[in-house]
Amino acid sequence: MKNLFLSAALMLSIATFAQTPEQNTNTTTAPAQTTQTAPQQAVTPQTQPAATATDATTATASADEGFKKIAQSEIAIDVLRPAVKKYEGFSLVEAMVAEDGSQYKLVLTKDGKDVAAYFKSNGEFIKEETV
């Protein structure tokens, strides 16, 4: 008789544990706001046998003639919107504006490839050059 009560109590306790639902507590938290910047790759100059340092300096000076360097925050929003859309995934290396403010030159890089993009001050794309 004693074994009958023990076996009934044992079966009752096993059934209780077997049917107890596992309580999952799902808590959601707001995602942390982070700012990510793409790492900029170092550009290593490639020398050509016939080229001299003065030739490279002259070419750079003539290409930047009439432009002055500006900070990224100084780029007009009308220029920034189409530039970000067209060059998604690129990192800004340098920003310049024409002395008269009519054009912007943005030097951008992606996967070791540098490009100079020219925009009018109203955001209209002008041209792209490989740097």
Q: How far apart are CA 95 and CA 69, in angstroms?
A: 6
User: Which comes out higher in pLDDT, residue 53 or 121?
Assistant: 121
Are 119 and 82 in contact, with CB atoms under 8 Å apart? yes
Rounded to two decimals, the pTM is 0.53
Q: How far apart are CA 43 and CA 24, in angstroms?
A: 52
User: Which comes out higher in pLDDT, residue 105 or 61?
Assistant: 105
CATH entry 3.40.630.30 includes domain 66-131: no
Q: For tokens 């403010």, name the residue.
A: 101
Q: Calculate mean pLDDT across residues 50-56.
A: 45
